Structure 1
Amino acid sequence: MAALTKKNTLKQTGFEVNNLGFKYRDKYYKFDDVIGVKILRHVLEHKVILVGSEFHYSISIMILVKSGDHIQVTEQPTWLSNSKISSVEHIENQFSIIAQKSWNNRISKYTEQVKSTGYYEYDGWRFYPKQRQIKHLAKGKIYDLNSITLLKTPTYIVVEEKNEGIGSKFIRNMIGKEIAIGTLVDPDVFFTLLKHFFNLSWASSDDSQLESRTTLP
């Protein structure tokens, strides 16, 4: 459903990137300030009989910085207007620059955690490279990687136990409760870490995700 009004748009926030960082609501941030990024894209197709299709584009980016400031820029259709594709593409391009420039800073918080503790944490999960295990922190349950199957979707990874009983699997499917790892925050970092520490990768990256890298800094 379209929103009534636009919020956090390019015009409202004054969001703009330059060689050293970016401006947001009259405040300036350096690339080194960035510790996390997130992007959501949507394309809505509106079909009209005997006319054809109209496409409406929306994008929302979120940037986490050291100070804790909430940075969000959004372009989306409303009941009164549509988002301009040029604005959507501009935000996406600016976001790509920030993601690239903040790469070392974003991934180092995980690699430093591995050096000091032997594991890193992401989206409520703890990853143990040496033991090749992952732990669901809320449930307190540990999974050996050779005992599970990881199914990748555009926004999360489903964790399925290979030896799960038919009854428990049926009940879980009935209530729609999947065990999953969300991948919206720093997806480029997350998939690079999986490849580096666990040799886990998928045949192709999803278009909704930032591209992972082959090496750590």
Structure 2
Amino acid sequence: MKQWGRTIFSLIMVAVIVIVASGGMVTAQSGGNYFDKITVGGDVDIYGTGVIRDSLSDTVRAQVTSGGLTVAGAVNSPNITGGYTGNAIGGSNYGSVIAGGGRVADPNNWQLSINTITGNYSAIGGGTANNIVGNWGSVGGGSGNRIFQYGYYGVIGGGATNAVSGQLSTIGGGNGNAAVGIESVIGGGVANWIRGGQAVIGGGSYNYTAAGSGQAILGGEFNSVGTGNDRFYNGGVQG
């Protein structure tokens, strides 16, 4: 076991050194519990049971063919895709990460499918059917969550079917919440919706802030703040 451990570590370290030094095309084929073949287009060098080839390409790509990890080179920064093999990051995007999650699509439940990113410098931690289109977005997990194209720096912690389309806005979790306004926060709950900017809904369900800025609803149900600035509702249930 110690010998296998040393072999694994040595092969990984050599692969990393070659990738960093050459910026080349790399394919790593897994033999089960260890890399038994590492290939980089170009001249052949032998190391233990692996094959190392010097790169003739300006891109970087490392793939464990038994599933689990893909590192795809890009002009500015590589994309890293983990989890289910169907998870995908756009070919023209860069600097993004899908750490895990995803699964084969369930035709009876759209929330059970792959995770996808078509933005730059964005990240999905796990879960299923999560999607980021905007740049610098982050989804921790959950299912069916989405950060839209202009939701730059948007964050969704988890939950299900939450959506951010306003820049610098955050949804902690819950179900079916939407942050349309910029620089806004929804803590959680169900079907809460922020339309204005710089607004907060702490939680609860079916709460709504209209156009304006600086609005806040702490919680409760079916509460709404009309158009205007710096308006506040502390919770409960509006009739």
Report if TM-score (shorter chain) is over 0.5. no
- What is the TM-score with the length of structure 2 in the denominator? 0.23
Higher relative contact order (CA closer than 8 Å, sequence separation 6+): 1
Greater Cα radius of gyration, structure 1 or 2: 2
User: Counting helix residues as a fraction of each chain, which structure ranks higher?
Assistant: 1
TM-score normalised according to structure 1 size? 0.24
Choose between structure 1 and 2: higher strand proportion: 1
